Structure 1
Amino acid sequence: MTTKPAPLRRPIESLRRRWRAFRSGRWLEAGQYKGNYRRMDRLYLLEDPWKLTSERERERFRLANEIIARIAPDCGALLELGSGEGIQTAYLQEVASHVIGIEVSPVAVGRARRTVPRAEFLIGPAEDAARILGPRRFDLVTACEILYYAPDVEAIIEAMQTLAPRILVTNYEKRGRLLAHHFEGPGWSRLDDIVVDGTRWLCHLWSAG
């Protein structure tokens, strides 16, 4: 009777654990990536790790566009924080003349530049957006599904408020309720939720006074 050598068995078991975690969705839990941008970049070794090309997500993008058309009609320049591989960016181009995306993963930005060539993509964390963009200003900033991965939500909000007179934030309901206190106070209002097949996203708007 022979057994597999331990040095070989260990990496095989490690790969199996990672594959089981991926299949179960545990790789995508917010707590595993909060502020860990190197790990976030490794996630993009898989194409579309967030499954944003699913019909459910595409419907979410369409409904988000309807909101943008109401809150920022005739939007010229739009800044998308956490633009990933550019999947939602392609939709945002339908409601803005020019879209710039900021994404922390160079791998994701590489794919985005190939798939959405009319948009502009910059590499960096969302909390550094004001520094990255310098004097550039926008009609609207969007932060869709990103804030629960950030180490400092308030820093990102403050950066967004210097870049545009309007901010649209959307969060998956179960995670978004933990962030609700960030969207209270002057300038903030609650919009209608986005609901697709029973899944709900909370929507918040900030407008400069």
Structure 2
Amino acid sequence: MTDSSTYLTVTSQAYDAVAGLYAELVRGEPKLPLERAIVAAFADSVRAAGGGTVIEVGCGPGHMTAHLRELGLTAFGIDLSPAMIGLARESHPELRFEVGSMDALEVADGELGGILSWYSIIHTPPEELPPYFAEFRRVLAPGGHLLLGFFEAEGGPVTPFDHKVTTAYRWPIDDLVKLAVEAGFAEVGRMSREPLAEERQFRRGHLLLRG
């Protein structure tokens, strides 16, 4: 079993060290039509289920939280990295950003209409992921929605790889669905895309889930 405090500290410190460079790399995302479409579908689903506040977990420099606001949602973000939160507050002073961990959200049961986890579970060791899904389910209102972005492991097991920041994991999409269903979610839809020429050669996966 992984010591959760260790990998959380490693992840936080690793992103602190590259916060400025990372913010430049992700500026303007989501750029691709497929990704903009799945995030728009998430926003529409949140509204159709009654609305409510949305949290982006692992928000980094806040670009996706700001995009959720552009889509008409009330959104705020949390991240392990104080440096990332500092950049998010500087870039988007009108939005709320807090340092925090997505396995222990400071949110009441059933308070949220949606959760966006945009490539923020990728550094979580596989054995540590079920409690994250349980926490997501706890804070979502009945019928609330969760959108996951991640790296796919096509046709194989969960696979670690040397991410540029710190160790990350590729997931078979059906394995993620199984974990989510065990936590009380239902799959709404999925979208995969092939990597661009300038990206790592891993397929990108996206799952829309309903609590």
TM-score (norm: length of structure 2): 0.68
Question: Could you tell me which amino acid in structure 2 is paired with residue 167 of structure 1?
Answer: L
User: Counterparts of 1:48-197 in structure 2 under 5 Å?
Assistant: 48=22, 51-53=25-27, 57-59=30-32, 62-73=36-47, 75-129=51-105, 132-134=106-108, 137-151=111-125, 152-164=128-140, 165-174=144-153, 175-178=169-172, 180-184=174-178, 185=181, 187-189=185-187, 191-195=189-193
Q: Distance in 2 between matches of 1:34 and 1:145?
A: 16
Secondary structure (helix, strand or coil) at the match of 1:141 reads: strand
Q: Secondary structure at the match of 1:58?
A: coil
Higher relative contact order, structure no. (Cα contacts within 8 Å, ≥ 6 residues apart): 2
Deviation at 1:162, TM superposition (A): 0.8
Q: How many residues align?
A: 173
Partner in structure 2 of residue 203 of structure 1: 206
Give the corresponding residue for 1:5: none
Give the TM-score taking structure 1 as reference length. 0.69
DSSP-derived class of the 1:48 partner: helix
CA separation of 1:172 and 1:50: change in aligned 2, threshold 3 A:
farther
Q: Which digits, 9 at most, give the CA deviation of each residue in 1:64-83, with x for residues without a partner? A: 33221342236331110000
Any stretches of 5+ residues in structure 1 without a counterpart? 1-32
Q: Secondary structure at the match of 2:94?
A: coil
For 1:79, what is the secondary structure of its paired residue? strand
Separation of aligned partners in 2, 1:123 and 1:171: 22
Shift of 1:145: 0.4
Which runs of 5 or more residues in structure 2 are unaligned?
Answer: 1-5, 154-168, 197-201
Structure 1 Cα separation of the partners of residues 134 and 84 of structure 2 = 25
Say if 1:115 and 1:54 are closer, same or farther in 2 by CA, change over 3 A. closer
Alpha-carbon shift at residue 135 of structure 1 (Å): 5.7
